[in-house]
């Protein structure tokens, strides 16, 4: 079907000239309710490209006159558009523009503009409507056609149990294109970038029609929050309206699986304790994290028991349990990687600890078995020494629950960035160290061997300056004292002082954005734990039962309804005690909080309603210029209703910070307006001079 691109000229605000408002070809997109995701991306990209064509920072677009057109675009989307893929498209464009490095900052400004429009659009909705837009998954057109033609309902359960979050369906007309998506994290990101670039590189709708494959296919089955995580839209994810949704998923107020049956369908919905299956609570991230901590505590107890006993001659029952725990942990990490994909998996810093723990456990098991088989007890002792290294990662892994608190979760990104800067600085330290070590070793070769001199220089570098002064004449009476004085000065004063100052500046730089980093990691963990396409998720070590029973059956039995029903029965039998504990906890919680799991305000009916009628385009432009904001016949509240609420809660004030600037922001806005007028004047003078030159 050809794309009907209808557009309207964007009205110029009356607050003075700006580099954006002076652009003559700015147009508002006309997005229909039934437009496909590729069409929405194309229309929005044309508008963003026209609106933002000069470098601007995020704060300039948010608080100054530079972002006037973005506010009008938000009003237009809020009052005129009901397409459910609006937020998905904006965040996909944010990913596209954020990846481009044009050297001028225009692409970065457009990426910021997409992020601002996305979260401002959400702030003008009710909370329940914001949930619908943020968790709307981009549908596969081929799946929709197949499901509409089929007589039986689509099976959304275990049929896709081995797929990942960043996945594609097998029903594509282009299987080779989809198979390219099963790559590493960098390859996936490159594929997502290229898919949007195919749309944004062309300026006409006819160019999109000529594409043989759907360039937005890699985004199929991704919701807006997942796209935001892939696009590193940390400001978007840190907004209160978005964090309330993520917190709702964390607490189980929003669920994706409401029942445990063969034909269950993955779909975001609000939890209803009366109708929902109690076993669906096993997928709540909060309970997953609690069980993870309990599992690691048991893991740590077995670990200490085996190390304290340390039987060199035979494998004890406790050691067998430790191997079972290791195997269950390893299989759970593999399943998590397959479900989440490498992009989400690598975003969690604790997964690096998990992989190191698995590597140490494998080395220990190999050395232990080989040593017992060969009766080489020296090798057995080395195996236990290797196992002792596990505590360096297992103990912090148990304490990873602290990273969910704002304080520790904010501190960890700072330490991470400081560690990166420290490693970069150590390159210079190693160069200086190797240079002086070589000189001292050659000059004092008659008195000290190379290993001895290396140890002396290391002690001097770590603060034992007196050692250098004691041996400087022994190294060489002529060259020893001046060289040692220079080395001590460099290592103890210059290098250490520079390192301290650099790390202090690094901490100050990162702490300003540490909250965004913390909320980003927290959001990725919640999405990774909750939006998996796997219906039956076995907790370790019960996952080994499913692996031992059903994995061999996959080799010669089809994955039919009976096969999936067997997995469900095993899950119910093994996880019934866990579900009982969860139900008891929620019963006690409901006594304290009578509202239960209904903390989202707004209409309960879906807000994705088709537009029935709209004012004529020319009359709408005149009314927008006069300050009128039309209300469309939809169940959503318009921006005027949202903004004019009688009382705004304190925690909701963050959502409207961009529309209610502080005194400092007002002064910045006034100064920016003056700069904009001066820039426009210079541009007009340059244009006039150019015309005079042409005439001459």
Residue-by-residue DSSP string for 421-444: HHHHHHHHHHHHHHHHHHHHHHHT
Reading the block at residue 486, the tokens are: 């220079």
Average pLDDT over every residue of 386-399: 88
Residue 580: HSE in the Cβ half-sphere, 13 Å Cα cutoff = 6
Q: What pLDDT shows up at residue 172?
A: 35
pLDDT above 50: residue 359: yes
Read off the pLDDT band of 176 (50, 70, 90): very low
pLDDT at 356 over 50: yes
Cα dihedral: 137, 143, 149, 154 (round 10): -70
Choose among 18, 229, 1: nearest CA to 134. 229
Of residues 552 and 605, more confidence is placed in: 552
Q: Which pLDDT band holds residue 447 (cuts at 50, 70, 90)?
A: confident
Q: Comparing C-alpha atoms, which of 33, 375, 391, 37 is closest to residue 215?
A: 37
Residue 294 has pLDDT above 80, yes or no: yes
313, 606 in Cβ contact below 8 A?
no
Query: Domain locations in the chain?
Result: 1-263+592-696, 284-404, 406-515
Cis status of the peptide bond prior to 541, with omega within 30 of 0? yes
Average pLDDT, the chain: 75
Can you give the pLDDT at residue 267? 86
Q: What is the pTM of this model?
A: 0.70
């Amino acid at each position: 079907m050809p794309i009907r691109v209808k557009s309207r000229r964007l009205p110029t605000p009356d607050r003075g000239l700006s580099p954006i408002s002076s652009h003559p070809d700015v147009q508002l997109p006309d997005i229909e309710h039934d437009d496909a995701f590729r069409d929405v991306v194309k229309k929005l990209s044309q508008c963003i490209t026209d609106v933002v064509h000069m470098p601007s920072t995020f704060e300039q677009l948010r608080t100054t006159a530079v972002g006037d057109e973005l506010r009008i675009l938000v009003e237009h989307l809020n009052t005129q558009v009901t397409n459910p893929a609006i937020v998905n498209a904006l965040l996909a464009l944010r990913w596209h523009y954020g990846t481009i490095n044009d050297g001028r900052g225009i692409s970065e400004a457009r990426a910021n503009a997409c992020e601002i429009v996305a979260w401002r659009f959400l702030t003008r909705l009710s909370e329940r409507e914001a949930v619908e837009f943020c968790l709307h998954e981009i549908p596969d057109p081929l799946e929709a056609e197949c499901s509409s033609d089929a007589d039986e309902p689509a099976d959304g359960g275990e049929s896709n149990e081995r797929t990942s979050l960043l996945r594609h369906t097998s029903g594509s007309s282009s299987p080779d294109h989809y198979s390219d998506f099963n790559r590493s994290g960098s390859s996936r990101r490159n594929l997502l970038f290229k898919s949007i670039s195919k749309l944004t590189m062309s300026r006409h709708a006819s160019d999109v029609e000529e594409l043989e494959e759907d360039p937005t296919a890699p985004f199929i089955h991704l919701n807006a929050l997942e796209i935001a995580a892939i696009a590193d839209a940390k400001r978007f994810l840190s907004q209160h309206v978005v964090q309330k949704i993520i917190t709702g998923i964390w607490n189980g107020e929003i669920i994706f699986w409401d029942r445990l049956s063969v034909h269950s369908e993955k779909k975001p919905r609000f939890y209803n304790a009366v109708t929902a299956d109690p076993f669906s609570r096993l997928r709540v991230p909060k309970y997953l994290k609690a069980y993870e901590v309990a599992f690691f505590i048991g893991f740590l107890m077995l670990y200490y028991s085996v190390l304290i006993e340390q039987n060199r001659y035979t494998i004890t029952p406790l050691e067998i349990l430790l191997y079972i725990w290791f195997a269950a942990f390893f299989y759970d990490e593999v399943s998590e990687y397959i479900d989440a994909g490498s992009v989400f998996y690598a975003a969690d810093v604790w997964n690096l600890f998990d992989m190191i723990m698995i590597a140490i456990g494998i080395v220990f098991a190999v050395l232990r078995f080989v040593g017992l088989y060969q009766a080489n007890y020296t090798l057995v002792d080395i195996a236990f020494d290797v196992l002792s290294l596990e505590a360096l990662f297992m103990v912090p892994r148990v304490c990873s629950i602290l990273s969910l608190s704002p304080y520790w979760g904010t501190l960890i990104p700072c330490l991470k960035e400081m560690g990166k800067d420290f490693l970069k600085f150590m390159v210079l330290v190693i160069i200086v160290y190797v240079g002086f070590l070589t000189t001292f070793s050659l000059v004092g070769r008659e008195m000290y061997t190379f290993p001895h001199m290396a140890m002396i220089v290391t002690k001097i570098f770590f603060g034992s300056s007196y050692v250098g002064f004691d041996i400087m004449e022994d190294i060489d009476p002529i060259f020893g004292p001046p060289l040692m004085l220079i080395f001590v000065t460099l290592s103890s004063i210059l290098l250490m002082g520079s390192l301290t100052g650099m790390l202090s500046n690094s901490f100050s730089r990162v702490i300003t954005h540490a909250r965004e980093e913390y909320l980003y990691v927290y959001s990725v963990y919640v999405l990774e734990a909750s939006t998996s396409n796997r219906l039956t998720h076995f907790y370790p070590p019960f996952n080994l039962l499913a692996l031992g029973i059903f994995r061999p059956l996959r080799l010669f039995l089809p994955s039919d309804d009976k096969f999936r029903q067997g997995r469900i029965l095993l899950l119910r039998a093994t996880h019934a005690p866990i579900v009982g504990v969860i139900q008891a906890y929620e019963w006690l919680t409901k006594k304290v909080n009578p509202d239960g799991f209904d903390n989202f305000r707004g209409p309960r009916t879906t807000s994705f309603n088709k537009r029935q009628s709209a004012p004529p385009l020319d009359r709408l432009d005149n009314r927008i210029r006069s300050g009128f904001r039309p209300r469309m016949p939809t169940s959503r509240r318009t921006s005027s209703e949202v903004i004019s609420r009688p009382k705004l809660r304190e925690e909701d004030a963050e959502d409207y910070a961009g529309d209610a600037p502080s005194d400092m922001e007002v002064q910045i806005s006034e100064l920016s307006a003056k700069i904009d007028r001066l820039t426009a004047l210079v541009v007009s003078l340059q244009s006039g001079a150019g015309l005079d030159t042409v005439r001459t």
